């Protein structure tokens, strides 16, 4: 109130006032000069010209009256102090009304303005509000910030629109709240009310036991159950559980552990699947429940049974190799039938330890060990038969369809038949002279009833008069000398003095034939006896004498013969083994009545043989020696005069 309205001044001389003095004993109000509150217990002097700038502010409504003082000065004298009281005006505190509130279903928060109303009998505008939460499940929110419980929350009237209350979770305990208002002078009483969270019914999961169809390995989780919610709430979460059976849950491609709750948001449900256990394994007990954003429903149990499967059956018959058959593809030894039409994924092989063996990717496999091979590698599996004549091998095979192994199927694998080769000596007793070298291949031949190619030969020398030579190395007597077929061309026999007992046998890669004996006799002098054959495989520069009428001198390298021949009669024969009869030309003789030279040629090789005796009238006749060479005889046309042997 203006100070000028609180008092008046009278002056007997009608002097004009020049000053005023004010005093406040210290009550609830105060003087104000030029807008500045003045302290109590202090004289406040103001010129008359500034009186209009002085006012008094009453204390709050209902506060103690204030004792004030004022006096005036007429320019010469101060008048006495005048005391009076200033009593604050009347005021009624605002009253808040609030009813208990229960959230509707799905109602999570509410504006504070909707929770109460305020009445002020004086019509005062409310300037402040105060809120309190006793500490229940909900909370006040101011400007988006959750407020603590048990603390007074003062908010200006202008900010009331930024205050809200968030209900506690559905089913939680009601919250006791308080609110009061201030009209600028007085706070009203606290008004209590309860805020109860809205009702909600937990969602219900329905699920039936499931059995996989044949070949079904996994299934989307969403196909295993359905959810009903009485309030039609959207599900926000799902929880899964596996008791630890043969299958498992998978989330985002990652297998989940059993015995652990697996919580998944509704948005991720499409990433959840269940993988069945192996065919024939124990059914899996699973659990699932759903959450509507407020409540979890009860767990729903159901079983997941792996699909049916029939084991694949292998059929295999005993097999016997044909002659010369050493190995066979595994695929030709058995067939597989799967009644479900499943593709075979693996094969297992077993060999009991017979004479043959399995081979995988070119590597021989051990016996008595299971050999597992993927279906894609089956073409790289073969079986190698044991040697001809060895004991049959008992083999086993089984197949897997990706889930189950079939039973082992046994069968036998018998090596193929074989006939041992036969070595045949060229002569049972070969006559020659010491030092002559025979190619081993000229001393014998080998035949095989099965047409097998020889792979080895075995040689033996008993007496040791002569000796075998292999690749230039002299071999000892009374010892088996084994050579490969390729080494036969590098093997020779060198004749010694006297008779040497030799043996030979051949091998066709599987079997060795029987030993065959023959002998080679090295004569001290080159005499061809009646009916005998003297063979000279190499160069010879000495005399040869026919002692009968039916002897044969066999020259394996006739061009190198530089000796003499005496005593050749009508039935004696010179076998030019190296001259091809197909190209032979008519022999010629040039000489005297005592000796001359017999020349024989096949157009490629020329043999010149010195004959001792009179052969001027001879008509030498050629014939095939039976081995492609050329035999030459002197038919009895005219009487020949023979020269005596050189040694006579």
Give pLDDT tens digits for 233-269. Answer: 999 999 999 999 899 999 999 999 999 999 999 999 9
Q: Verify that 37 and 20 share a domain, yes or no.
A: yes
Q: Verify that 217 and 299 share a domain, yes or no.
A: yes
State the pLDDT at residue 549.
83
Q: Verify that 432 and 511 share a domain, yes or no.
A: yes
The whole domain housing 354 covers 313-414
Note whether 418 and 452 are within 8 A (CB). Answer: yes
Proportion of the chain above pLDDT 90, given as a percent:
81
State the pLDDT at residue 421.
96
State the pLDDT at residue 636.
78
Instruction: Calculate mean pLDDT across residues 491-504.
Output: 96
State the pLDDT at residue 215.
81
Q: Verify that 467 and 507 share a domain, yes or no.
A: yes
Instruction: Calculate mean pLDDT across residues 418-430.
Output: 94
Compute the CA torsion angle 207, 212, 213, 215 (nearest 10 deg).
150
Q: Is position 499 within any domain?
A: yes
Task: Find where tokens 């009601």 sit.
Answer: 174
Structurally, the chain folds into a number of domains equal to: 6
Instruction: Calculate mean pLDDT across residues 90-119.
Output: 91
Q: Is position 646 within any domain?
A: no
Q: Verify that 269 and 337 share a domain, yes or no.
A: no
Q: Verify that 516 and 533 share a domain, yes or no.
A: no
State the pLDDT at residue 416.
87
With bands split at pLDDT 50, 70 and 90, how would you rate the model's confidence at 640? very low
| 339/312 Cα distance (integer angstroms) | 7
| 14/553 Cα distance (integer angstroms) | 196
Proportion of the chain above pLDDT 70, given as a percent:
98
More confident residue, 478 or 136: 478
Q: Is position 339 within any domain?
A: yes
On the question of pLDDT at 645 being above 50, the answer is no
On the question of pLDDT at 647 being above 50, the answer is no
Task: Find where tokens 């079997």 sit.
Answer: 511
Q: Which of 175, 196, 217 is the last residue of a domain?
A: 196
Instruction: Calculate mean pLDDT across residues 557-570.
Output: 93
With bands split at pLDDT 50, 70 and 90, how would you rate the model's confidence at 151? very high
On the question of pLDDT at 400 being above 60, the answer is yes
Q: Is position 541 within any domain?
A: yes
| 577/627 Cα distance (integer angstroms) | 8
Q: Which of 52, 86, 120 is the last residue of a domain?
A: 86
Q: Which of 389, 414, 439 is the last residue of a domain?
A: 414
Q: Is position 326 within any domain?
A: yes
Calculate Rg over the CA atoms of the chain: 67
With bands split at pLDDT 50, 70 and 90, how would you rate the model's confidence at 199? confident
CATH number of the CATH domain containing 328: 2.60.40
State the pLDDT at residue 637.
58
| 226/535 Cα distance (integer angstroms) | 107
Note whether 358 and 383 are within 8 A (CB). Answer: yes
State the pLDDT at residue 354.
84
Q: Verify that 531 and 518 share a domain, yes or no.
A: no
493: which strand partners?
438, 468
State the pLDDT at residue 648.
34
Coil, strand or helix: which one is 75? coil
Q: Verify that 275 and 337 share a domain, yes or no.
A: no
State the pLDDT at residue 646.
36
Question: What are the tens digits of pLDDT across the range 592-629?
Answer: 999 999 999 999 999 999 999 999 999 999 999 999 99
Q: Is position 643 within any domain?
A: no
Task: Find where tokens 């000069």 sit.
Answer: 33
């Amino acid at each position: 109130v203006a100070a000028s309205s609180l008092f008046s001044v009278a002056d007997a001389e009608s002097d004009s006032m020049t000053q005023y003095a004010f005093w406040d004993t210290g009550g609830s109000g105060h003087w104000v000069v030029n807008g500045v509150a003045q302290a109590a217990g202090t004289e406040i002097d103001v010129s008359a010209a500034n009186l209009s700038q002085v006012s008094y502010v009453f204390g709050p409504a209902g506060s103690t009256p204030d004792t004030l003082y004022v006096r005036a000065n007429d320019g010469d004298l101060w008048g006495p102090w005048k005391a009076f009281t200033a009593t604050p005006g009347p005021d009624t505190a605002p009253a808040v009304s609030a009813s208990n509130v229960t959230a509707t279903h799905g109602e999570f928060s509410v504006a504070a303005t909707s929770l109460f109303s305020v009445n002020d009998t004086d019509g005062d505008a409310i300037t402040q509000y105060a809120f309190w939460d006793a500490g229940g499940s909900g909370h006040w929110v101011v400007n988006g910030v959750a407020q603590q419980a048990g603390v007074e929350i003062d908010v200006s009237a202008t900010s009331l629109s930024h205050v809200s209350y968030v209900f506690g979770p559905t089913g939680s305990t009601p919250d006791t709240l308080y609110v009061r208002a201030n009209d600028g002078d007085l706070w009203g009483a606290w008004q209590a009310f309860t805020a109860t969270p809205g009702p909600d019914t937990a969602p219900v999961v329905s699920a039936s036991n499931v059995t996989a169809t044949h070949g079904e390995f996994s299934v989307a989780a969403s196909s295993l159950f359905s959810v009903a919610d009485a309030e039609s709430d959207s599900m926000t979460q799902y929880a899964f559980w596996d008791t630890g059976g043969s299958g498992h849950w998978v989330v985002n491609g990652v297998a989940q552990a059993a015995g652990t709750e697996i919580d998944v948001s509704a948005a991720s449900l499409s990433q959840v699947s269940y993988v069945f256990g192996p065919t024939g394994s124990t059914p899996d007990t699973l659990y699932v429940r759903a959450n509507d954003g407020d409540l979890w429903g009860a767990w729903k149990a159901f079983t997941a049974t792996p699909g049916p499967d029939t084991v694949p059956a292998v059929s295999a018959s005993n097999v016997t190799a044909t002659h010369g058959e050493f190995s066979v593809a595994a695929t030709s030894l058995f067939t597989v039938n799967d009644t479900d039409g499943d593709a075979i994924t693996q094969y297992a092989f077993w060999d009991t330890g017979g004479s043959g063996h399995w081979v995988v990717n070119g590597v021989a496999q051990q016996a008595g060990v299971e050999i597992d091979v993927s279906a894609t590698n089956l073409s790289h599996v073969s079986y190698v038969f044991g040697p001809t004549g060895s004991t049959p091998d008992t083999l086993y095979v089984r197949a897997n369809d990706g889930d189950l192994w079939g039973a082992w199927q046994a069968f036998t694998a018998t090596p193929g038949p074989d006939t041992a080769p036969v070595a045949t000596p060229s002569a049972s007793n070969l006559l020659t002279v010491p030092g002559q070298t025979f190619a081993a291949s000229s001393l014998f031949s080998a035949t095989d009833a099965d047409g097998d190619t020889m792979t080895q030969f075995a040689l033996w020398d008993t007496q040791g008069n002569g000796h075998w030579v292999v690749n230039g190395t002299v071999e000892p007597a009374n010892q088996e000398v084994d050579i490969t077929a390729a080494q036969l061309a590098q093997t020779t026999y060198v004749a010694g003095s006297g008779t040497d007992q030799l043996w030979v046998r051949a091998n066709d890669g599987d079997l060795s034939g029987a030993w065959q004996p023959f002998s080679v006799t090295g004569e001290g002098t080159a005499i061809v006896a009646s009916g005998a054959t003297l063979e000279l495989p190499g160069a010879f520069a000495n005399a040869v004498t026919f002692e009968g009428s039916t002897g044969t001198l066999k020259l394996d390298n006739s061009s190198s013969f530089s000796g003499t021949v005496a005593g050749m009669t009508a039935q004696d024969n010179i076998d030019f083994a190296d001259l091809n009869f197909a190209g032979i030309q008519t022999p010629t003789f040039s000489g005297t009545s005592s000796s001359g030279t017999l020349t024989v040629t096949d157009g490629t090789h020329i043999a010149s043989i010195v004959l001792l005796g009179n052969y001027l009238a001879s008509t030498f006749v050629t014939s095939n020696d039976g081995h492609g060479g050329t035999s030459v005889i002197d038919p009895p046309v005219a009487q020949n005069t023979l020269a005596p042997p050189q040694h006579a």
